[in-house]
Chains A and B, each alone.
Chain A
Amino acid sequence: MDTVTLNTGDLKSQEYFLNMGPQHPATHGVLRLILTMDGEVVKNIEPDLGFIHRSIEKQCEYEGYKQIIHLTDRMDYLSAHINNEAVALAIEQALEIEVPERVKVIRTIMGELTRIASHLLWWGVMGMDVGALTTFMYAFRDREMINDIMEETCGARLTMSYSTPGGVMFDLHPNFVKRVKEFIPHLRSVIPKYDELLTGNVIFQKRMKGIGILSYEDAISHGASGPVARGSGVSCDRRKIAPYSALDKVDFKEIIYTEGDNLARYNVRMKEMLESLNIIEQLIDNIPDDGIQAKTKALIKLPKGEFLQRVETARGDLGVYIVSDGKKNPYRVKFRSPGFSNLNALIEMGKGHLIADVVAIMSTLDFVVPDIDR
């Protein structure tokens, strides 16, 4: 029998389009990516957004300032509390209200709990994206404990709407301190196990190391923020740069890795959870007792002007920009969401990678699609 030799020089490759999403488990929501492919290699990425666009910015122009807060939960629903806080801080900045110390401490503790819950969910689904299904179950078990704490005090598990201009909606539940104190040692004891399960896994490491590198300059140019930028060596933690609420009273480290690859972003979030626990621990025993609401008018009118408030959500730098013309509703509100700019970085990071690696890169960017679409 004659041997058949294959002359690869005769083979031609052809570029084609591949549709990823909006109904795709790895896009974590309704994000559609139009991929230009050459074989299994991604040549170009074009995001198609808007499947969950509700025009929150336009809605804000027709709502009062107290009502706007309730819309912001629905943007980045995993950082709901921090979004609420951002709007409340912007309004307080404009009205020059000083909130009670108790409110500041409560907001910071709630914010850090939110961050841990968000990072836990990210860790669970990130494992699932690269083929480790167990992580999802573990992460949700721990996240449930935070949701229960939230439910007792805020009355809601996900979209809390807990901050109001000048304070918080309700006082802490009597069980709050006890429950948080139970949660801290629990999470401290399980994170080393999680490291053993996933972080140290050889297959996982090979999916992570050296994949999806974002350089320091590119991270800044793309407007990346949060753990994405900190994985590329950019110091950008708003909690350190411009401490808000009670963050100026606590001592914590800003986690920075310089490699810029998937593993660096992964490590930033894993270490951040422990730092958040440190912050909560420093505050939980000394919650001041000076009321939960500063005096505000029933109908809030902001003075004429422009106000920008930036906070660090679990995904990065959220900017609330309010333009007021002195009426009871804002003239223009812009939410500069961290996910939107981080998505910009994916367009370049994904180029030249295999499609399976794009899934891994996307999961380390930690998108929440309503945060991008607004």
Chain B
Amino acid sequence: MENLINKIQSKFPEATIETEGVQFPVINVSPADYYPLMEAVREAGFDYLFSMTGMDWGKELGVTNHLENTKTREMIVVKVKLEDRENPELETLENIWKTAHLHEREIYDLFGINFKGHSVMKRLLLPDDWEGYPMRKDWMDETKMIIR
């Protein structure tokens, strides 16, 4: 873990790392460094992409990734924030972890983040003709199905 943190600090000086007061170490990375950083994390032994959580922090959209090293059982969190709410775009992680395939489709469906290079960038859970991205905080629930 220490090695990885040192490596990230030297290779990606803009990335910030939180280790105090959090359950697992958290790396905050910019969209430009996202893919190379995730590659470095994979090389450091984090072979299990546990989950990809789409997030809407109010101002920014983004993804929270939980990763696990299946040998040492360490966990690490990588967060990426996107300022652009109109055309949010990220690199796909499909080539690094195969599980990203469905997780990224789900995030595209519910948050509208486009993953460049993904093999099937289509809606997954909602119908193909659905408009809008319901997990965003500014989504209007006109039929009052969920938000009363």
| B92, CB-defined interface residue at 8 Å | no
Considering residues A48, A323, A344, A347, which has the most beta carbons from chain B within 10 angstroms of its beta carbon?
A: A344
How many of B's residues come within 8 Å of A, CB to CB? 33
B 77-106 to A, binary, CB cutoff 8 A, 1 in contact else 0 = 000000000000000000001110111001
State whether A49 touches B125 (Cβ < 8 A): yes
List, in ascending order, chain A residues with CB within 8 A of B70's CB: 220, 234-236
List, in ascending order, chain B residues with CB within 8 A of A38's CB: none
State whether A334 touches B47 (Cβ < 8 A): no
| A136, CB-defined interface residue at 8 Å | no
Considering residues B22, B56, B102, B124, which has the most beta carbons from chain A within 10 angstroms of its beta carbon?
A: B102
Give complex CA distance A37, B70 in Å: 36
Q: Is the interface of B mostly helix, strand, loop or mixed?
A: loop
Give complex CA distance A282, B120 in Å: 49
In the complex, chain A residues 346-369 whose Cβ is within 8 Å of any chain B Cβ: 347-348
State whether B23 touches A308 (Cβ < 8 A): yes
State whether A59 touches B146 (Cβ < 8 A): yes
In the complex, chain B residues 53-74 whose Cβ is within 8 Å of any chain A Cβ: 53, 55-56, 64, 66, 70, 73
Give the Cβ gap from A373 to chain B, nearest Cβ, in Å.
6
Give complex CA distance A321, B23 in Å: 11
In the complex, chain A residues 326-353 whose Cβ is within 8 Å of any chain B Cβ: 332, 334, 336, 340-341, 343-344, 347-348
State whether A58 touches B50 (Cβ < 8 A): no
| B49, CB-defined interface residue at 8 Å | yes
| A53, CB-defined interface residue at 8 Å | yes
| A204, CB-defined interface residue at 8 Å | no
State whether B127 touches A308 (Cβ < 8 A): no
Q: Which single member of A47, A55, A306, A319 contacts B51 (CB below 8 Å)?
A: A319
| A221, CB-defined interface residue at 8 Å | yes
Give complex CA distance A31, B66 in Å: 27
State whether A343 touches B23 (Cβ < 8 A): no
Known contacts being A62-B146, A62-B147, A223-B50, is A57 close to B99, with CB within 8 Å? Answer: no
| A222, CB-defined interface residue at 8 Å | yes
| A241, CB-defined interface residue at 8 Å | yes
| Minimum CB distance partner of A307 in chain B | B23
| B12, CB-defined interface residue at 8 Å | no
Known contacts being A50-B124, A57-B135, A306-B23, is A341 close to B146, with CB within 8 Å? Answer: no
State whether A332 touches B55 (Cβ < 8 A): yes
List, in ascending order, chain A residues with CB within 8 A of B148's CB: 62
| A46, CB-defined interface residue at 8 Å | yes
Give the Cβ gap from A264 to chain B, nearest Cβ, in Å.
18
| A148, CB-defined interface residue at 8 Å | no
| Minimum CB distance partner of B106 in chain A | A340
State whether B49 touches A373 (Cβ < 8 A): no
Give the Cβ gap from A372 to chain B, nearest Cβ, in Å.
9
State whether A223 touches B125 (Cβ < 8 A): no
State whether A344 touches B48 (Cβ < 8 A): no
Give the Cβ gap from B49 to chain A, nearest Cβ, in Å.
6
Chain B positions within 8 Å of A, measured between CB atoms, are 21-24, 47-51, 53, 55-56, 64, 66, 70, 73, 97-99, 101-103, 106, 120, 124-127, 134-135, 146-148
Can you list 20 A-B pairs, Cβ within 8 angstroms, ordered by A?
A47-B102, A47-B124, A53-B125, A53-B126, A55-B134, A55-B146, A58-B135, A221-B47, A222-B98, A223-B48, A223-B99, A235-B70, A236-B70, A306-B22, A306-B23, A319-B66, A321-B51, A340-B102, A341-B102, A373-B125
Beyond the given pairs A46-B120, A220-B70, A305-B22, 4 more chain A to chain B contacts, judged by CB atoms under 8 angstroms and listed by A's residue number, are A49-B124, A53-B125, A223-B103, A334-B53
